[in-house]
Amino acid sequence: MATGQLFSKTTQALFYNYKQLPIQRMLDFDFLCGRETPSVAGIINPGSEGFQKLFFGQEEIAIPVHSTIEASCAAHPTADVFINFASFRSAAASSMAALKQPTIRVVAIIAEGVPESDTKQLIAYAKANNKVVIGPATVGGIQAGAFKIGDTAGTIDNIIQCKLYRPGSVGFVSKSGGMSNELYNTIARVTDGIYEGIAIGGDVFPGSTLSDHVLRFNNIPQVKMMVVLGELGGRDEYSLVEALKQGKINKPVVAWVSGTCATLFKSEVQFGHAGAKSGGEMESAQAKNQALREAGAVVPTSYEALEGAIKETFEKLVEAGKVSPVKEVTPPQIPEDLNTAIKSGKVRAPTHIISTISDDRGEEPTYAGVPMSSIVEQGLGVGDVISLLWFKRSLPHYCTRFIEICIMLCADHGPCVSGAHNTIVTARAGKDLVSSLVSGLLTIGPRFGGAIDDAARYFKDAYDKGLSPYEFVESMKKKGIRVPGIGHRIKRGDNRDKRVELLQRFARSNFPSVKYMEYAVEVETYTLSKANNLVLNVDGAIGSLFLDLLAGSGMFTKQEIDEIIAIGYLNGLFVLARSIGLIGHTFDQKRLKQPLYRHPWEDVLYTK
């Protein structure tokens, strides 16, 4: 066991099992104390490496993350404190691994419930190698104005109130982490504050004892008196009694053992800690308090009188000239986190993203305000989900059914079209699903599947202006623009596209109005008089019918309809639908284990 001071203003730690809040509290304490370097040198997160962003005062810093204890110790040889936030299942193994590292001097084990047999092995190894174990079941410890472990002393407000940002003259040790916070406050009220505080943990076998730390405090010149808070159960306090009797401690010790109320219960009571259970008269709080009193410690008559005893002891030291007045300093202001400040109404900050279609902040996500569970419970389909997420409203059933029909009819058009071809070539090159899908999607444009919006735009403009099919087609010809939605490489006037016929049949049976579709058919009649392949294709059918859907449903204003077409909603239908087919082609090629594609020479015209 170490015989002097454990920590200093340059102490650095390795933090095992990343926890954002306790690390940030350590860094905030560093800033409060005026440290030049962060007290957390590295983080150990098994299985991951990289960096974690945290704040050191106003500055954002990146703390290295290592996957193993060995790698972390090698990377940060000056970090000699290991703060273990592992669960009780792995705390012992990771703590032993840390103790075996030559650079580690102190190990703090936060977890409760570490098997006693494992703890005994850790204690034996630490003693044999002159290392210190704090815990298990500890909140840690603190050196005022220099270094603290994890959540020790709680919030920054509590730390400031307890004057822990600068050193005092009192060494404090307790079994309880929660009571440590209470005593830090008490000590700050009636003395110049603590110099060092340790919570050894409430397990039956703590890694270090009350007397271990009191004896350390006795060797630290800056510590002028000690305060000890024990509890019923175990015999740890008796080692302190022996040290007092043997004259190993020459500084005043104020002590109290909690749990005197246990005698009021008829049967034995297990208090909060695993070790807080009296195993006989010797382990009772009354017996321990009496033994400490007889050994020379200042022991009050009750916990309520403890503050007065601390005050009186400190004042005697001041009168004797053994305590020099501590120069008070004003700690720096810790910058408040933005989220905290926003919640408290102190600041306002602009958001970076606007979303109106979904919300995942409640108990379940909502689509345009409709809970996801409600969508499923009502038996709604993909068309309804598109209705909510794309159009931000629940469209009538015939509308959502039309959307679903469009998706089904446009899902695939064979392996020879450009999109499918690109996807197949990419999949055969050994690329992953996303790469193969995107390769095919990137071909979608004015010449392949991307004419739906243009078809809707031109048909709507011509119809709304009252242009005859002749005037419309001839005006487009004069501009050098092919009529979007008209023309097909394979289909002819006497061999119509079955998909177009299905869509028209559905619309005539279900839509309130099909004026735009009928206009497109009239345009087709005129274009067929010029060439037999200038038929209304699926892009033109979907584009014109979507105009009828938007206008006939009565749920969209003219401005909204124009915006939907301008943004590219209708092409979105083709992208969504064709993704199904492109994914299918990717899987098909993978399943067939097709080799790398190379285009045949005979299919290329080589010319000068």
Spatial distance between the Cα atoms of 112 and 89, rounded to a whole number of angstroms: 10
C-alpha distances in angstroms, 184 versus 154, 196, 326, 587? 11, 10, 16, 65
Spatial distance between the Cα atoms of 239 and 211, rounded to a whole number of angstroms: 6
- The predicted pLDDT at position 269 comes to 57
What is the homologous superfamily of the domain 13-320 according to CATH? Succinyl-CoA synthetase domains (3.40.50.261)
Residues of the chain with CATH 3.40.50.261: 13-320
- The predicted pLDDT at position 273 comes to 46
- The predicted pLDDT at position 2 comes to 66
Spatial distance between the Cα atoms of 415 and 604, rounded to a whole number of angstroms: 19
Spatial distance between the Cα atoms of 480 and 498, rounded to a whole number of angstroms: 29
Catalytic (active site) residue 273: yes
Helix axes 498-510 and 397-410, enclosed angle (nearest 10): 180
What burial class does residue 169 get, using C-beta atoms within 10 Å of its C-beta: 0-12 exposed, 13-18 middle, 19+ buried? buried
Tokens standing for residue 157: 């407000």
Q: Which of 273, 397, 421, 488 is catalytic?
A: 273
- The predicted pLDDT at position 283 comes to 86
Distance from the first to the final alpha carbon of the chain: 88
- The predicted pLDDT at position 365 comes to 96
- The predicted pLDDT at position 274 comes to 46
Query: 3-class SS at 244?
Result: helix
- The predicted pLDDT at position 266 comes to 54
Residues lower than pLDDT 70 in the chain? 1-2, 261-280
Give the strand order in the sheet containing 147-148. Answer: 147-148, 140-143, 194-199, 170-174, 225-231, 253-258
- The pTM (predicted TM-score) of the whole model is 0.71
What burial class does residue 572 get, using C-beta atoms within 10 Å of its C-beta: 0-12 exposed, 13-18 middle, 19+ buried? middle
Query: 3-class SS at 15?
Result: strand
Looking at residue 1, what DSSP letter applies? -
Do residues 66 and 43 make contact, with C-beta atoms less than 8 angstroms apart? Answer: yes
Residue type, 42: G
